[in-house]
Amino acid sequence: MSTSKGTVLITGASSGIGATYADRFAARGHDLIVVARNNEHLAALATRLGATHGVRVEALAADLTDRAGLTMVEKRLTTDESITHLVNNAGFGAVSPLVASHVDEMERMVAVNVVAPMRLAYAAVPRFLARGKGTLINISSIVAIGPEILNGVYGATKSFVLALSHSLRKELEGTGVHVQVVLPGATGTAFWNVAGLPVRSLPKEWVMPVTDLVDAALAGLDLGEYATIPSLQDIGEWEAWEAARQIMLPHLSSAEFADRYRPSATA
């Protein structure tokens, strides 16, 4: 008889944040479905985690920029009753300004960072709702709050993940389905090399070890947090930002424009 606590499907699981999530969830007694493009790395990860933690780990090789690969993962989410968690982690970034970035590569980034998590959420959430429980973890970034920090398209994709999470949190309140959005700062992974800025070029005091990042994110999940920003020392700063947003919401749409735009004010 299985003693699994349910199955966690993790995208971008072959290295970095995704692989660390896989290790931590396996250590907690969860079976895993690990998804990434590199089948060799996935198979090695599955073998290692299965042997170390005594859980079932399945490697599911899929390129999420390819519709066939994305559809395969969607189908698994809609048909596998054992899946209790979805970790939308797959993604990549860039540091170059718009004029120095190739538009086709930016479009591929949108496919991985925006289209994939959106479609996978559409696949998983109805199943979770039907069961009355489930967990959706969306990996965003601090650039969702400060999109001007790095490449603007990357910032925009992570702002989408944060906005989608905001909406799903409200939509799913009271259903038993929990949404967590994680906003990492600079993390010690291969992300920076792929983005074109080697991590060794960053100030050491900015860069969090990937194990610390994931452990903090899971601590936030255990605390029932909606938004987890591991690097933010004063959570009151996030709460103040969110409170300011809530104050504006009732005033953002009106039949009349603001007085500052009247001719007497602009003269």
Q: Kindly compute the dihedral angle of the four CA atoms of residues 114, 118, 120, 125, in this order, to the nearest 10 degrees.
A: 150
Annotated catalytic, 154? Answer: yes
Ordered alpha helix ranges (H), the chain: 16-27, 39-53, 67-79, 103-110, 116-131, 152-171, 191-195, 210-222, 235-248, 263-266
Find tokens 């170390």 and name the residue. 52
Give dist(CA 267, CA 258) in Å, integer.
15
Beta-bridge partner residues of 227? 181
Q: Of the candidates 55, 80, 28, 4, which has an alpha carbon nearest to the alpha carbon of residue 222?
A: 28
DSSP string, 171-212: HTTTTTEEEEEE---SBSSTHHHHHTS-GGGS-GGGPBPHHH
Q: Which of 21, 122, 154, 226 is catalytic?
A: 154
Sign of the dihedral through C-alpha 187, 188, 189, 193: positive
In angstroms, rounded to a whole number, what is the distance separating the alpha carbons of residues 215 and 230? 9
The residues carrying an active-site annotation are: 154
